[in-house]
Chain A
């Protein structure tokens, strides 16, 4: 190739790649955890296991992991053994493609799937403390690992739907997630700093909730804030949105279970 040919090939590539980038998408080197926007006391609370209230759920998750359940009378540990090994990195690559349903499944969904299908036990209802505890316990095994969404072509259409949901304006206030989290992060909404909306700390302890909550619960808060309808817990749209958020957060270290104001 001559220099000119190389240049035009490059320009063509750039032109092809361009539509993939969002107008306001956050460049990789500017991605920051929600924790960066918190007051120093709240950051300290998250960083110190003895002060982080979410660690109570991790302890409970550890106990549940070993407890036989359901008709099969088997515990998670019976099949998965030591979490530090078997569950390391699992949270960093969820949502992942689920063969059974032919669509993405998030970590909570995966845990409930094992509970229903492999333990033959009643699945936990949304926001159930035991489900949150197991999810926090499993997610904790990925502490510090970079968010690593799977490069699975079967996920692409769902991720694109997630992006669409992130960018479309909704609710009586007619705002999109991107309006705040891509275009105005770092600004203040009525005194509260707007974070970049990364999913890497979930499930987490929110001081406002006074309990542990899932990412979906957080997303519902934002939807309610703009006076929009919220999908029900576990709805496919939620999982697609989670998938897109994980792609946006690619490379950021996992910090679950986090603390937020």
Chain B
């Protein structure tokens, strides 16, 4: 993990271009993002609901976790139960924002990133999967999952 971080370029730059398209600038420190993406703190209750929403956040498509509909979750990724104990809030934030910075091969989508990939359907082009506020809500909820 550490080795992976060392070869990553420093990541300051988010042109105004991406800011305009709904991706806020952030700074990666180590394997995390320490500073929240928004001024207002995330709301763990909203985050819980959003994380369980298979259409909007998609988390349950891959992850098991403390979700209401147990039979509807995926088995392609680690259980999110206890993630707040395993990882710091900063580490969780980077994984939700753009896990591909840590592991380019991962199947986990980068939730707060916009690319110029022409294969993206027109309806979704130029938009991140989750906005900054949504990321913070989910991070706030995940950080409460201590067991």
User: Which listed segment binds A: B1-9, B10-18, B68-76, B136-144?
Assistant: B68-76
Beta-carbon contact of B75 and A188 below 8 Å = yes
Contact of A173 among B71, B74, B109, B122 (CB under 8 A): B109
User: Which listed segment binds A: B43-51, B58-66, B87-95?
Assistant: B58-66
A171-B121, A172-B121, A228-B120 given as contacts; is B109 within 8 A of A190 (CB)? no
What residue in chain B is nearest A179 (Cβ atoms)?
Answer: B107
Sort chain B's interface into a size bin. Answer: 20 to 34
Sort chain A's interface into a size bin. Answer: 20 to 34
Counting CB contacts under 8 A, is B85 at the interface?
A: no
Complex-state Cα separation, A172 to B109, whole angstroms: 8
Beta-carbon contact of A174 and B61 below 8 Å = no
Classify the secondary structure of B's interface with A: loop
Report chain B residues within 8 Å CB of A224.
Answer: 121
CB neighbors of B among A163-210 (8 A) = 168, 170-175, 179, 183-184, 187-191
Beta-carbon contact of A187 and B74 below 8 Å = yes
Beta-carbon contact of A184 and B71 below 8 Å = no
Complex-state Cα separation, A152 to B144, whole angstroms: 59
Counting CB contacts under 8 A, is A227 at the interface?
A: yes
Beta-carbon contact of A191 and B72 below 8 Å = yes
Report chain A residues within 8 Å CB of B62.
Answer: 189-190
Counting CB contacts under 8 A, is A229 at the interface?
A: yes
Beta-carbon contact of B124 and A172 below 8 Å = yes
Contact of B120 among A168, A171, A190, A191 (CB under 8 A): A171
Report chain A residues within 8 Å CB of B109.
Answer: 172-175
- Return A53 CB to nearest CB of chain B, in Å: 26
> What 1/0 mask marks residues of chain A from 1 to 41 whose CB sits below 8 Å from any chain B CB?
00000000000000000000000000000000000000000
CB neighbors of A among B88-147 (8 A) = 100, 107, 109-110, 115, 117-125, 127, 129
What residue in chain B is nearest A174 (Cβ atoms)?
Answer: B109
Classify the secondary structure of A's interface with B: loop
Counting CB contacts under 8 A, is B54 at the interface?
A: yes
Contact of B76 among A188, A227, A228 (CB under 8 A): A188
Report chain A residues within 8 Å CB of B72.
Answer: 190-191
Beta-carbon contact of B120 and A172 below 8 Å = yes
CB neighbors of B among A216-235 (8 A) = 224, 227-230
Complex-state Cα separation, A249 to B69, whole angstroms: 34
Complex-state Cα separation, A142 to B90, whole angstroms: 57
Complex-state Cα separation, A191 to B122, whole angstroms: 28
Complex-state Cα separation, A168 to B119, whole angstroms: 10
Report chain B residues within 8 Å CB of A173.
Answer: 58, 109, 129
Beta-carbon contact of A172 and B122 below 8 Å = no
Complex-state Cα separation, A152 to B100, whole angstroms: 40
What residue in chain B is nearest A172 (Cβ atoms)?
Answer: B124
Report chain B residues within 8 Å CB of A174.
Answer: 100, 109-110, 115, 117
What residue in chain A is nearest B71 (Cβ atoms)?
Answer: A191
Beta-carbon contact of B74 and A228 below 8 Å = no
What residue in chain A is nearest B126 (Cβ atoms)?
Answer: A172
28 contacts between A and B (CB under 8 A): A168-B119, A172-B109, A172-B125, A172-B127, A172-B129, A173-B58, A174-B100, A174-B110, A174-B117, A175-B107, A179-B107, A184-B76, A187-B74, A187-B76, A188-B73, A188-B74, A189-B74, A189-B76, A190-B61, A190-B62, A191-B69, A191-B72, A191-B73, A191-B74, A227-B124, A228-B120, A228-B121, A229-B120
Known: A170-B119, A187-B75, A191-B73. 18 other contacts (CB 8 A): A168-B119, A170-B117, A171-B119, A171-B120, A172-B120, A172-B121, A172-B125, A172-B129, A174-B110, A174-B115, A175-B107, A175-B109, A183-B107, A189-B61, A189-B76, A190-B73, A224-B121, A227-B120
Contact residues of A with B, CB < 8 Å? 168, 170-175, 179, 183-184, 187-191, 224, 227-230
